[in-house]
Amino acid sequence: MKISFKRYFWFLSIFIVLLLLSSVTFAVSDYEEYVAKLNLDDLYDEYGDNIYKLDGNDYFVKILDNLTNRLDTKLHFEIHYVDSDVVNAYYIGDGKVVLFRGLLDRLANSDQRAAVIAHEMGHGVNDHIDGQLKSVIGLGIGSWLLDQIVGKDSSDNTYNLLKKFGLTLINKGYSRENEEEADLFSVKLLDKSGYNPSGAVQVMQILDRLNGSYNSELLELLQTHPNPQTRIEYMTKEIKKTTGKKPEYLSGEYLDLYFND
């Protein structure tokens, strides 16, 4: 009797674990949608009338379409524009890209604008939210099991975890590895879509210059991304590899003139 109970318990445990794992795999995309919505709601709460979704005729959506045409992805991308001095751009999940005027105003050509959008798309196409979500859901399962033992309803807990994850994503951004992957992805996508991938290093030059002259509190992008010099180095290598040519950097004189305000 003792042995068969042990065996029964063993099978039951495996069954429960498999059940949980399969539900996690199926639920991740739902969670991503949910996290994207939480992130977006927070931004709409914060910026009110100063944030809105760009429609199909918008210049930036046309760039997004040019880039999406070269991609085989299930994601449906859209752009939310924030009319704010903050220099930033986010990918918040479920195809949602957020662009701030503070960054767009500093860009000088369509290659640079496409570079920013392609980088954010890179977070989406490479499933960066998914990867982070799995670990949060892993934590969620741990706390769910704990809740079952102490007899508590777990829905609040899961909500709080996801909410916290949503906030963390906006405040802290992605890992350095994820940022580098999105950067390298952007170089390749720009090249495939007929944009000059040099736009990507030019954006870094502009950010680097802003770093020394602009209100640092507004430079949110530099707080959540690797430093522009490091990004210029690895993107330069990627551009040489992809196009066989050196990137077209902005000259010091150009930057001096451009930032002479």
Residue ranges in contact with Zn ion by CB under 5 A: 179, 182
β-strands 96-100, 78-82 pairing? parallel
Question: CA-CA distance, 198 to 194, in Å (whole number)?
Answer: 12
209 vs 225, beta carbon nearer Zn ion: 225
In whole angstroms, what separates CA 144 from the centre of its chain? Answer: 28
Neighbours of 96 (CB within 10 A): 23
Question: CA-CA distance, 4 to 111, in Å (whole number)?
Answer: 68
Q: How far is the CB of 161 from Zn ion (least distance, A)?
A: 23
C-alpha torsion 134→226→83→48, nearest 10? 30
Helix (H, G, I), strand (E, B) or coil at 244: coil
Question: CA-CA distance, 10 to 13, in Å (whole number)?
Answer: 5
156 vs 233, beta carbon nearer Zn ion: 233
Report the residue count for the chain: 261
Q: How far is the CB of 189 from Zn ion (least distance, A)?
A: 14
Q: How far is the CB of 28 from Zn ion (least distance, A)?
A: 20
94 vs 179, beta carbon nearer Zn ion: 179
- Pair 248, 260: CB distance under 8 Å: no
Q: How far is the CB of 119 from Zn ion (least distance, A)?
A: 6
Q: How far is the CB of 123 from Zn ion (least distance, A)?
A: 6
157 vs 224, beta carbon nearer Zn ion: 224
182 vs 222, beta carbon nearer Zn ion: 182
